[in-house]
Amino acid sequence: MGANAVLLLSCPDQPGVVAAVAELVFRHGGNIVDTEQHTDREDGVFFQRVEWELDGFALAREEILPACAPLLARFDAQAEVSFTDVRPRVAILASRQPHCLHDLLTRWRTDELPIDVPVVVSNHEDHRAIAEFSGTEYVHLPVTPATKPAQEERLVEVLQERNVELVVLARYMQILGPRVVGAFPNRIINIHHSFLPAFAGARPYHQAHERGVKVIGVTAHYVTEALDEGPIVDQDVVRVSHRDDVAGLVRKGRDLETIVLARAVRAHIEHRVLVHGHRTVVFG
């Protein structure tokens, strides 16, 4: 299979967008292989994802967005174009807990996630061996209250020097300040180990145990400056019972965290996520 182009578009809801986009692709010889759309009726906003084959398409990659300009102007639309054969450069940040980090590295090594991982950053030394075995750089950035501003500055440098497009917080237990969040808007995915908005903040499994819930959950979301309130990309849950003490919840939650984080990363790198205010549209 050859590569495809993906157009993500949003604009005020109005007739004619679907026809205009389809006509533009068709006029240049493109075969649409997938299209999804969504209209938020309350806010009157239209979202679309269109994917077509580059094989036989008349425009070069860099010509596509310019060719869309009249259409975008006509409908007052924002758009971005991506290509399915370009591997996104993803940095992984972790603290002590290994499961999400190891899982993402395995998915990368075994080519299950079509990404490049130029760097793993951690505030601990713990994961150097698995990172280097996996073939990526390991940067140890310890953080104390005193060094945090400087280390965040350093973190942004590390990420930008390596042309990182997506930052994945694989149970990274440091709260990121506005310097980092601002440098990667809607480009940082965190996994929170509760079913948000329940049990935001610290020690969610302890909170869940205390409340006596019968289901626990996890939430993958984009990081914004408001802690645990960013747009949710994916969530999932697992049943628990009175037999599960906190350690049992932690253990059951681990598998869920790895899977939901990996699903959210996949949705992002497949260009299926559009952020709309503090919500998301996740196609497909």
Q: Which residues are tagged catalytic?
A: 228
Of 4, 9, 11, 30, the one binding its own copies by CB under 8 A? 30
Interface residue with its own copies, options 3, 32, 65, 67 (CB under 8 A): 32
Between 90 and 216, whose beta carbon lies closer to its own copies? 216
Residue 10 found at the interface with its own copies (CB under 8 A): no
Chain residues 107-126 in contact with its own copies, contact rule CB under 8 A: 109-110, 112
Q: Which of 3, 67, 98, 148 binds its own copies (CB under 8 A)?
A: 98
Nearer to its own copies, 73 or 211 (CB): 211
Q: What angle do CA 225, 228, 234 make, to 5 degrees?
A: 115
Q: How far is the CB of 20 from its own copies (least distance, A)?
A: 8
Bridge partners (DSSP) of residue 234 are 220
Q: Measured from the CB of residue 206, what is the shortest distance to its own copies in angstroms?
A: 11
Residue number with CB closer to its own copies (22 or 156) = 22
Nearer to its own copies (CB atom), residue 108 or residue 184:
108
16 binds its own copies (CB under 8 A): yes
Using CB under 8 A as the binding rule, whether residue 102 contacts its own copies is answered as yes
**Does 160 sit near its own copies (CB under 8 A)?**
no
Q: Shortest approach of its own copies to residue 9 CB, angstroms?
A: 14
Residue 64, amino acid: I
Binding mask 226-255 for its own copies (x = CB under 8 A): -----xxxxxxx---xxx-x-----x--xx
Asked if 282 touches its own copies (CB under 8 A), the answer is yes
Q: Name, in order, each residue with C-beta under 8 angstroms of 188's C-beta and a sequence gap of 6 or more.
A: 166, 167, 168, 169, 176, 180, 181, 222, 223
Nearest approach in angstroms of CB 151 to its own copies is 26
| Tokens, residue 140 | 């140890």
Please give the residue ranges that form the binding site for its own copies (CB under 8 A): 14-16, 18-19, 22-23, 25-26, 29-42, 98-99, 102-103, 106, 109-110, 112, 129-130, 133, 195-199, 211-215, 217, 231-237, 241-243, 245, 251, 254-255, 259, 262, 278-282, 284
